[in-house]
Amino acid sequence: MQSKSIQVKGLQKSYKQLQVLKGVDFEVEKGSIFALLGSNGAGKTTVVRILTTLLQSDGGTAAVNGFDVAFKPDQVRQTISLTGQFAAVDEILTGRENLIMIAKLRYLKNPRQVADDMLQRFGLTEAADRRVSTYSGGMRRRLDIALSIVGKPQIIFLDEPTTGLDPEARIEVWKIVKELADGGTTVLLTTQYLEEAEQLADRIAILHEGRIIASGTLQELKKMFPTTKVEYVEKQLSLEEIFLAIVGKKEAI
């Protein structure tokens, strides 16, 4: 059995003149939560789109569940799900109808039962028969994640799952993500929220100027700083301070 769910080596991608990925390397262990951290425009969505077979890279290799994304896209798609940066739910339908539709598209045996279970699990039972257009941002996001895990994908990609959510809704989504990983699902999420990476991720990688400039557990990232500096500031560095220092804005600490 493969212990790596995702292996990325030397990944490159340009949009015309703009070289967004200049050789990205990272690996994700099965059943772990991996956070890809980066500022606006760093290339996080580009990485996710390549790994989910929606976009072709210009160079390097990427394998998902042991399948090369360029040569075995169908096999890759069978094991993954993607929750994009922008909600993909159908607003005209109710939450329940959205779930039933996806369960049918995935040829599951009992779509109504699947929908009921998901509504329950994601705290949407009461709102189940309302049109999604009446849902709050947090409810949409929960439905979005529920839709993406119908059919039990082994690997789930969440592109900025909590952007735009209030703190309470964010914590709810964190809980869901943790439960998914506890159940054995591999999670790759992108985020601009350092706290999110700090709370959720087993490993964190910082994407900056086309490359992963630092990666490891939170503890490992913290250790990358000279202890003198830590003593000097007389406190534990937060991931935010580490991030800003690593991407070169040293005045932050």
Ligand X SMILES: Nc1ncnc2c1ncn2[C@@H]1O[C@H](COP(=O)(O)OP(=O)(O)OP(=O)(O)O)[C@@H](O)[C@H]1O
Footprint on this chain of ligand X (rule: CB under 6 A): 15, 18, 20, 38, 40-46, 85, 192
Query: Residue 12 binds which entry of ligand X, Mg ion, none, with Cβ cut-offs from 5 to 8 Å by kind?
Result: none
Residue 140's binding partner among Mg ion, ligand X, none (Cβ under 5 to 8 angstroms by kind) is none
Q: How far is the CB of 100 from ligand X (least distance, A)?
A: 31
Min dist CB 6 to Mg ion, Å, is 18
Integer Cα distance of 25 and 2 in angstroms: 18
Nearest distance in Å: CB 207, ligand X? 7
Least distance between ligand X and beta carbon 124 (Å): 26
Residue nearest to Mg ion (CB): 45
The residues, any chain, with a CB within 8 Å of residue 119's CB and separated by 6 or more, are: 95, 96, 99, 125, 128, 146
User: Which residue's structure tokens are 């160079």?
Assistant: 59
Closer Cβ to Mg ion, 15 or 71, answer by number: 15
Spatial separation of the C-alpha atoms in residues 149 and 206, rounded to whole Å: 26
**How many residues contact Mg ion, by CB under 5 A?**
3
Considering the rule CB under 5 A, would residue 186 count as an interface residue with Mg ion? no
Selected range binding Mg ion among 8-16, 24-32, 39-47, 76-84, rule: CB under 5 A: 39-47
Going by the DSSP 8-state scheme, the letter that residue 52 receives in this structure is T
Nearer to ligand X, 8 or 102 (CB): 8
Query: Taking CB within 5 to 8 Å according to partner kind, which of ligand X, Mg ion, none is near residue 46?
Result: ligand X
Sign of CA dihedral 237, 241, 245, 251: negative
Assigned token pair, 6: 């995702």
Q: Which of 6, 31, 45, 64 binds Mg ion (CB under 5 A)?
A: 45
Q: Is the dihedral of CA 101, 102, 106, 108 positive or negative?
A: negative
Q: Which is nearer to ligand X, 20 or 221 (CB)?
A: 20
Q: Are 246 and 239 in contact (CB under 8 A)?
A: no
Nearer to ligand X, 19 or 75 (CB): 19
H or E segment to which residue 71 belongs = none
Pick 45 or 162: Cβ nearer ligand X: 45
Quick one: 49 or 142, whose CB is closer to Mg ion?
49
Strands 67-68 and 18-29: unpaired
CA gap 208, 211 in Å, rounded: 6
Q: Which DSSP letter does residue 134 get?
A: G
Least spacing, CB of residue 163 vs Mg ion, in Å: 9
Joined together, the tokens standing for residue 214 give 């630092």
For residue 249, the number of C-alpha atoms closer than 13 Å in the C-beta half-sphere is: 8
Binding residues (CB under 5 A) for Mg ion: these are 44-45, 85
